[in-house]
Structure 1
Amino acid sequence: MKEESLLVKAGRRFNDYKGSMNPPVYHSSTILFPSYKDYLNAANGESIYDVINDGVARDYSYSSVGTPTVHYLSNALAEVEGKGQALIYPSGLFALTFAILTFTRTGSHVLIQDNNYYRLRRFAEDELPKRGIEVTFYDPTQDITDLVQSNTSLIMIETPGSVTFEISNIEHIVKIAKKHGIVTVCDNSWATPLLFKPLDYGIDVALYAVTKYLAGHSDLLMGAIVAEDEVFKSLYESYKNYGVTVQSHDCYLAHRGLRTLHTRMKKHQSTAMKVAKWLEKHPKVKKVLYPALLSHPQHKLWKSYFKGASGVFSIVLDGEYSCEELSCMVDNMKIFSIGASWGGCDSLILPIDRKSMSRSVMRSNYGGSFVRIFCGLEDPEDLISDLDAALAILRLTK
């Protein structure tokens, strides 16, 4: 089945819905059973209620491990990924931090990209030392061989990296990780499983902020992981032990959003390419950081892994502008809104304060202010016109 068709049908069991095209939203804290034996079997992963199709013996004795609505979505995500099993989390950040806690213990060492999601870095810097876990932040464009320690248990990857959009050499990282028995986790939110499938390259855990492209309408918070075999079992055991729960209605919305993902991603890429190419020629833009452009220094590496590009990229302006100057640029835009969580229908713009960030990659001398752009589903000409008017306002204070 081709991807367009799979996205529409994934995780849906029409015969279970008594003729309804859409799955019901199960609001329930309790699962009922006709006999005590059925209850015990369900606790051991042998439920009479066949709602999980991933072949793993999952506890279905209590809805803290998921209602049918939750499992329909997890089934769908695993189908789209093409392998493995999925778990749903309350947010993308929760999935990231939970993956770290699952594969580390006191005395562990973790490698995390220097250009990762800033909230993950905050967690790593503020929380992991309290648990006796050592962290090394690495440059994703460099060889990591000498950074691995005898107690390294996890390597966190985000490709492209947040804000600066470097591409990780996945094959190099996976080779090192396999040699030393290290678990690898890849935040694949930018690409979605349509453009890059981490498990196909030997990465152990594919991780998504479902909040963004997968749900696609800026109306929920959710994260997900997809993994196989013992790695999945470790995540699942922690999932049960910590009592991770997600709301059925949010899973319904995410599942609904998944059906239009292919169409939306094509539009995001098409619009972003037009806008990025226009910005490359603008006199107030020093650089456009978008891996799909030939000008990106790692364009060939990006092309070797990815089937396409999404709608998020950054620009470097022609100078270092103050907060007030950047506010004049973005505060009165007509199409773009100021906001952080991209992936929905509406285009977003956000100046980035590099100097306040602890990333060494971000502190590199780019020679200008950063602005992150997300191209939504509006007409690209409207977005270009809006950016043109905003950049015309921009003036460096002499």
Structure 2
Amino acid sequence: MAVNSSQTEPGLSLRMEGFEAPATIAMSMRARELAAQGKDVISLALGQPDFFTPRVACDAAYEAALEGKTKYTPIDGVLALKQAVQKKFKLENGLDYALDEIMVANGAKQILFNALMATLNPGDEVIVPAPYWTSYPIMAKFLGGIPVDVMCSEENNFSLKAADLRKVITDKTKWLIINSPSNPTGAVWSKQDLLEIAEVLRDYPQIWVFADEIYEHLIFDGAVHYSLAALAPDLKDRILTANGASKTFAMPGWRVGYAGGPKRLVKAMTKIQSNSTSGASSISQAAATAALHHCAKDVEEMRQAYDRRRIMMKEAFSNMPGVICAVPQGAFYVYPGIKGCLGKISAGGRKIENDQDFAEALLEEHYVAVVPGHAFGLSPYLRISYAADDAVLEEACKRIAKFVESLQ
């Protein structure tokens, strides 16, 4: 359900030709349309925590507003938040960044946009391990780059292997984007895999690395998160380590992202931001500062709830005919494979030829919104968020099971 156009509408720029809205948003929009028609829709399409933002963060925002901290903020972030981020990187990731190597943006997505806009020239290649977050290739293409997929198979725990990376590197490669824990699979890349990736990167000094670590605290089964810049300090001057408040602290609507990286890159990214959105909201930055300092207990409580839901979802899918589901080690998604469902007909008469057909039929016939795996670069799979209330997830699983069992 991605929004696509074969040609540019009159009056719009050429860069809009074929420009897509992420499938996650497209599916959510369709779910909202059905809900507006009175349908009992369950949407598991967006990666949005269902928890309230911790009270201490909300109180900090309220107090900041009452104290008159409602003015324009420094482009790269208020000092208190940058200091909190600096401390976080040191204590949690083993990374030392000077304050001028840290910036704050309007969400982690803007961090990526700033970085790519500051560095990409037309024709530069951006390696995107698949399955990937939908915005990675879309954004690279929008900014003049050429996204290059490299497949991470389920047999390899959806992790990037060094040998596969080396095969796709060319003299035009400008960026490698890595994301662990992963959206959409929940994979947590091993220390050994990251060390081997670093070994490949040493042979190609022109390559920047965008390390998206926004799900780092949502890990399970004893998995360990590693920052590439800490494992390979000799590569630190070309690694941008990105994170944000949205997933860890249940703050998606506050729009606070941050990153640590080489001073020259951060300076360029700040210039980009100064001429686009300017600094992030002063109120949001106050909330994020408090969250970084005081919300470790809240994060652990949310992590435990996600862990419980993760197991529930895995058990539900393991009993569905034609469906397989790896156990995710991180984030809050499952990525079940539906190869065994293809070629069948739904109760509503729709032939299921691919994961798009499956997702659309499931939504139209049983009112559950999920995202087809083709949007993330690997089919036939589905991305399903379990960042929802337990009772909602139970009902969704019942509907999905009913849909699968009805396929003929």
Smaller-chain TM-score range? 0.5 to 0.7
When residues 264 and 254 of structure 1 are mapped into structure 2, their CA distance, relative to the original with a 3 A threshold, is farther
1:120-167 Cα offsets, whole Å, 9 max, x none, are 211222332xxxx44422224442223222343321112344334556
Question: Higher helix proportion, which one?
Answer: 2
When residues 234 and 89 of structure 1 are mapped into structure 2, their CA distance, relative to the original with a 3 A threshold, is same
Q: How does 1:297-308 map to 2 (within 5 A)?
A: none
TM-score when normalising by structure 1: 0.63
1:328-367 Cα offsets, whole Å, 9 max, x none, are 4345xxxxxxxxxxxxxxxxxx411345x3x5x423xx4x
The letter for the 2-side match of 1:238 is M
When residues 149 and 104 of structure 1 are mapped into structure 2, their CA distance, relative to the original with a 3 A threshold, is same
1:304-341 Cα offsets, whole Å, 9 max, x none, are xxxxx34322233552436133344345xxxxxxxxxx
- Partners of 1:177 and 1:183 within 8 A in 2: no
1:176-220 Cα offsets, whole Å, 9 max, x none, are 11222122221112324985231322262221243222x314432
The letter for the 1-side match of 2:150 is Y
Q: Give structure 2 stretches of 5+ with no counterpart.
A: 1-53, 55-59, 153-159, 342-351, 353-357
Secondary structure (helix, strand or coil) at the match of 1:286 reads coil
2:137 to 118, 121, 128: 121
Give me the whole-angstrom Cα distance separating, in 2, the residues matched to 1:64 and 1:75: 17
> Corresponding residue for 1:179?
203
> Corresponding residue for 2:77?
66
1:255 to 263, 269, 289: 289
Give me the whole-angstrom Cα distance separating, in 1, the residues matched to 2:322 and 2:264: 48
Q: Give structure 1 stretches of 5+ with no counterpart.
A: 1-7, 9-16, 30-61, 293-308, 332-349
When residues 115 and 185 of structure 1 are mapped into structure 2, their CA distance, relative to the original with a 3 A threshold, is same
The letter for the 1-side match of 2:197 is I
Q: How does 1:1-398 map to 2 (within 5 A)?
A: 26-29=69-72, 63-79=74-90, 80-85=92-97, 86-106=102-122, 108-128=124-144, 133-140=145-152, 141-142=160-161, 143=163, 144-165=165-186, 169-181=193-205, 182-192=207-217, 195-198=224-227, 199-202=229-232, 204-213=239-248, 215-227=249-261, 231-240=262-271, 242-243=273-274, 244-258=278-292, 259-261=294-296, 262-284=299-321, 286-292=323-329, 309-317=330-338, 319=341, 320=352, 321=358, 323-331=360-368, 350-355=369-374, 357=375, 361-363=377-379, 366=380, 370-376=382-388, 378=389, 380=390, 382=391, 385-394=394-403, 396=406, 398=408
Secondary structure (helix, strand or coil) at the match of 1:205 reads strand
Give me the whole-angstrom Cα distance separating, in 2, the residues matched to 1:125 and 1:374: 30
Q: How big is the shift at 1:78?
A: 3.0
Secondary structure (helix, strand or coil) at the match of 2:104 reads strand
Give me the whole-angstrom Cα distance separating, in 1, the residues matched to 2:66 and 2:263: 26
Give me the whole-angstrom Cα distance separating, in 1, the residues matched to 2:312 and 2:257: 29
Give me the whole-angstrom Cα distance separating, in 2, the residues matched to 1:27 and 1:118: 34
Give me the whole-angstrom Cα distance separating, in 2, the residues matched to 1:187 and 1:391: 31
Give me the whole-angstrom Cα distance separating, in 2, the residues matched to 1:110 and 1:116: 12
Secondary structure (helix, strand or coil) at the match of 2:215 reads coil
The letter for the 1-side match of 2:333 is V
Give me the whole-angstrom Cα distance separating, in 1, the residues matched to 2:401 and 2:371: 19
When residues 269 and 171 of structure 1 are mapped into structure 2, their CA distance, relative to the original with a 3 A threshold, is farther
The letter for the 1-side match of 2:370 is P
Q: How big is the shift at 1:240?
A: 3.7
Q: How big is the shift at 1:249?
A: 0.7
Q: How big is the shift at 1:247?
A: 0.9
Give me the whole-angstrom Cα distance separating, in 1, the residues matched to 2:67 and 2:88: 18
Q: How big is the shift at 1:118?
A: 0.9
TM-score when normalising by structure 2: 0.61
Secondary structure (helix, strand or coil) at the match of 1:149 reads coil
